[in-house]
Amino acid sequence: MAPSNIPDIVVGRLPIYLRTLAHIARGGQEVTSSYEMGEHLGISPAQIRKDLSHFGEFGKQGTGYNIEYLREQLRRILGVKQEWDVALIGAGAVGKAILRYDGFRGSGFRITAVFDNDPNKIGCKISQLDVIPAERMTSTIQQMGIRVTMLAIPAENAQRVAERLVEAGVEAILNYAPINVIVPPHVYVQHLDPVVALQHMTYYIAPKPTQALNPIISALDPREIGSDNIVHL
């Protein structure tokens, strides 16, 4: 079991390292370094080495990392040496795009059930999966032993459905609904909202408003501001 005191931001970088190693390996390389990985990612080599050191020693100074060995170790740490069955809740536009996404193959995840409450979608086949009625969600998830789910439903339904998933024994929820769902501490949630991500980015590129005058000075009557009434800050 991985250490429990690892900062979440470090854990969040491990899948990025795993993906980068796969990319480098496709070029036929067998060995890489923190410097080369850093060039691919825009992360300092020291940060990469520090992140990996939380979990052990995976390379040797001067020789770098054996790519396949490091990939195997990262898969083990992330728990993706096995393949996880995943349930998708919602067969709308977002849900259909997720079902047709080819990136899950070989990554440790396999969508094995999809649920919806729209009578026009129930029974339809999407990417070789039949859409199951939402009322059968809890029992089906329990029967299949599914612990990981994805929510691709309207915001107004997300909290209620998340609570049902927790009751069914789900321990991890990837939430595409544009709302934060509240779950017990033992359930891990990742929220993915493209609007939030875009707003995060535009903060850095939008023109910045001129900073307002100090509120103490602004509150003064202009006639009261003179050589004898200087406000010292």
The pLDDT of residue 65 is 95
Would the pLDDT of 219 be above 60?
A: no
Is residue 170, in this structure, part of any structural domain at all?
yes
Is residue 230, in this structure, part of any structural domain at all?
no
The pLDDT of residue 3 is 56
The count of domains in the chain is: 2
Would the pLDDT of 218 be above 70?
A: no
Its domain, for residue 58, covers 8-78
Would the pLDDT of 216 be above 70?
A: no
Residue type for 209, please?
Answer: P
**Does 88 share its domain with 171?**
yes
Q: What is the pLDDT of residues 151-207, one digit of tens each?
A: 999 999 999 999 999 999 999 999 999 999 999 999 999 999 999 999 999 999 999
pLDDT range class, residue 61, cuts 50, 70, 90: confident
**Does 38 share its domain with 91?**
no
Would the pLDDT of 220 be above 80?
A: no
> 10: which strand partners?
none
Contact indicator for 90, 152 with CB cutoff of 8 Å: yes
The pLDDT of residue 209 is 78
**Does 172 share its domain with 115?**
yes
Q: What is the pLDDT of residues 66-121, one digit of tens each?
A: 999 999 999 999 999 999 999 999 999 999 999 999 989 889 999 999 999 999 99
**Does 186 share its domain with 94?**
yes
The pLDDT of residue 214 is 57
Tell me the average pLDDT across 4-32. 94
The pLDDT of residue 215 is 56
**Does 110 share its domain with 44?**
no
The pLDDT of residue 229 is 44
**Does 18 share its domain with 50?**
yes
The pLDDT of residue 231 is 39
Cα distance between residue 148 and residue 146, in whole Å: 6
**Does 118 share its domain with 101?**
yes
Q: Are strands 129-133 and 125-126 parallel, antiparallel or unpaired?
A: antiparallel
Contacts of 190 (CB under 8 A, 6+ apart): 172, 173, 174, 175
User: Strand locations in the chain, DSSP E?
Assistant: 31-32, 59-60, 64-66, 84-89, 109-116, 125-126, 129-133, 148-151, 172-175, 188-191
What CATH number corresponds to the domain at position 13? 1.10.10.10
Tell me the average pLDDT across 213-217. 52
Would the pLDDT of 145 be above 80?
A: yes
pLDDT range class, residue 59, cuts 50, 70, 90: confident
What CATH number corresponds to the domain at position 124? 3.40.50.720
**Does 73 share its domain with 96?**
no
Out of 58, 78, 98, a domain closes at 78
